């Protein structure tokens, strides 16, 4: 099929995720046909830098020989076998390898295939853990306001975003919400001009208030550690996560860390919890685990949580949860090759260095009239555009300024995707500084153009 036929067929048959389909149908979609390294190549042969790492998951670029070969080798053995009642070699080897890199208190891995399944599993494990140890009343959750944990019902219950999930609110289970420690846009109750530490302390006090009121019914606090991604790349003030851990212990609730976006080097540590030396009770990963190649996710648990599920088959302690493709061997093989490359290239250290250099480049955006805030941790970046910098007044959402800037950046041969009016830069971790500079330059040109167009 040529480009036009592909576009027509797409419009006729497909329904795209997280996409305003009315606008999509009026547009000419970019059809990706292949990729090479950091570039996506469209059906007409045009090349685009993958500035969002194919939705925050690609690590080493595309068509990486080592990962391709690992998948081919596994294909020569077997593509898929079930983990229900059978063990499989790649899932065992990967499990052992993962245990060497996750926080030391996590001793068991439960595989699935998406970020949302990893979090859903953590919620179920938390509730059943308390049930199994004779505390069935502990079946509610605390999440952070505007957190995002995926689009399944449990994930939406704990990570409730009005803009995404409002129609489903009647379906969702009980959760309590603590304010997000967002320094640029602090929650109601924080006095104007508050410092990062003041915002942190206010949010922790509010969290503690929720725990005092509901703690005895709470199974777990769930948090995106260090950076709250989909809410707009909100970087938590130092010390916040550590205090959340302390409060979880004090009020006898589990701590679930959702590292789906932050895990696998993204923030400059293998896992974001390492920034604060925090040991979660349950930890969820997906996205970068296979280098962005194949769907694989994992939920890690401590030994005491695992032990609470041991018993006779008739005791009702078993975790009755599974997915057909749980621990898929091809995905496990990709994950193993991905981890080899992480190690050989000292990639996490590289992310820290590139992050520091990127900070210098991003400084060039700060003077622009409509750049309100720049948030970064490792290679996780959000540039928030505002109509008025002094008052921090956002643009009218109907103008869809973030989408417009990203559309124009595409003409520079770069793919970016915003979160409302926050321009997100989440490149493959192995992207070179030269390419990062190209992306920031394009951002600067197109955001500046917004300055001039808003004057006219």
Ligand X SMILES: Cc1ncc(COP(=O)(O)O)c(C=O)c1O
Residues contributing to the site for ligand X (CB under 6 A): 114-116, 119, 148-150, 224, 229-230, 258, 260-261, 286
Q: Which residue's CB is nearer to ligand X, number 296 or number 371?
A: 296
Q: Smallest distance, Å, CB 330 to ligand X? A: 17
Q: Smallest distance, Å, CB 284 to ligand X? A: 7
Q: Which residue's CB is nearer to ligand X, number 286 or number 333?
A: 286
DSSP 338-385: HHHHHHHTTHHHHHHHHHHHHHHHHHTTTTSTTEEEEEEETTEEEEEE
279: helix, strand or coil: coil
Q: Smallest distance, Å, CB 98 to ligand X? A: 17
Neighbours of 313 (CB within 10 A): 7
* Sign of the torsion formed by the C-alpha atoms of 200, 206, 207 and 212: positive
Instruction: List the beta strands (DSSP E) in 12-100.
Output: 32-36, 39-42, 47-50
Q: Smallest distance, Å, CB 149 to ligand X? A: 5
Here the tokens at position 24 are 């999509």
Q: Angle 75-35-10 (CA atoms, 0-180°, nearest 5)?
A: 95
Q: Which residue's CB is nearer to ligand X, number 116 or number 178?
A: 116
Q: Smallest distance, Å, CB 296 to ligand X? A: 10
Q: Which residue's CB is nearer to ligand X, number 51 or number 115?
A: 115
Q: Which residue's CB is nearer to ligand X, number 186 or number 232?
A: 232
Q: Smallest distance, Å, CB 66 to ligand X? A: 23
Neighbours of 8 (CB within 10 A): 12
Which run of H or E residues covers position 285?
strand 282-285
**Residue written as token pair 């948030």:** 375
Q: Which residue's CB is nearer to ligand X, number 215 or number 265?
A: 265
Q: Smallest distance, Å, CB 398 to ligand X? A: 25
Which residue's CB atom is positioned nearest to ligand X? 115
Cα–chain center distance at 9: 31
Integer Cα distance of 145 and 223 in angstroms? 10
Q: Which residue's CB is nearer to ligand X, number 64 or number 116?
A: 116
Integer Cα distance of 15 and 18 in angstroms? 9
Integer Cα distance of 119 and 154 in angstroms? 8
């Amino acid at each position: 099929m040529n480009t036009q036929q592909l576009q027509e067929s797409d419009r006729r048959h497909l329904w795209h995720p997280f996409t305003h389909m009315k606008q999509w149908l009026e547009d000419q979609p970019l059809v990706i046909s292949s990729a090479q390294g950091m570039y996506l190549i469209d059906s007409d042969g045009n090349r685009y830098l993958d500035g969002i790492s194919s939705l925050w998951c690609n690590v080493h670029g595309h068509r990486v020989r080592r990962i391709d070969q690992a998948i081919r080798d596994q294909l020569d053995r077997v593509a898929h076998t079930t983990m229900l009642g059978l063990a499989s070699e790649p899932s065992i080897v990967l499990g052992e390898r993962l245990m060497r890199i996750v926080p030391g208190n996590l001793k068991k891995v439960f595989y699935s295939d998406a970020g949302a399944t990893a979090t859903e599993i953590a919620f179920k494990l938390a509730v059943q853990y308390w049930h199994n140890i004779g505390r069935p009343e502990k079946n509610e959750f605390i999440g952070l306001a505007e957190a995002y944990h995926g689009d399944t019902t449990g994930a939406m219950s704990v990570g409730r975003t009005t803009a995404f999930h409002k129609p489903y609110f009647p379906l969702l289970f009980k959760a309590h919400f603590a304010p997000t420690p967002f320094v640029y846009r602090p929650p109601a109750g924080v006095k104007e001009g508050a410092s990062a530490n003041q915002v942190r302390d206010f949010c922790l006090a509010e969290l503690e208030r929720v725990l005092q009121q509901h703690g005895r019914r709470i199974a777990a606090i769930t948090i995106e550690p260090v950076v709250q991604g989909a809410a707009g790349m909100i970087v938590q003030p130092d010390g916040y996560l550590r205090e959340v851990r302390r409060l979880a212990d004090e009020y006898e609730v589990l701590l679930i860390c959702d590292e789906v976006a932050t895990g696998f080097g993204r923030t400059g540590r293998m896992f974001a919890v390492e920034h604060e030396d925090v040991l979660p009770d349950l930890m969820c990963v997906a996205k970068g685990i296979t280098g962005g190649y194949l769907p694989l996710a994992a939920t890690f648990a401590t030994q005491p949580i695992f032990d609470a599920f041991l018993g006779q088959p008739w005791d009702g302690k078993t975790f009755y949860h599974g997915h057909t493709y749980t621990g898929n061997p091809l995905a496990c093989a990709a994950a193993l090759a991905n981890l080899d490359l992480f190690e050989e290239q000292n990639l996490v250290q590289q992310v820290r260095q590139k992050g520091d250099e990127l900070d210098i480049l991003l400084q060039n955006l700060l003077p622009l009239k409509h750049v309100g805030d720049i948030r970064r941790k490792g290679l996780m970046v959000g540039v928030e555009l505002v109509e008025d910098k002094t008052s921090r007044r956002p643009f009218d959402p109907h103008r869809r300024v973030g989408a417009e800037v990203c559309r124009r950046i595409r003409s520079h041969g770069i793919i970016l995707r915003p979160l409302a009016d926050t321009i997100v830069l989440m490149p493959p971790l192995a992207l070179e500084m030269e390419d990062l500079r190209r992306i920031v330059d394009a951002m600067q040109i197109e955001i500046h153009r917004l300055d001039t167009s808003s004057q006219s």
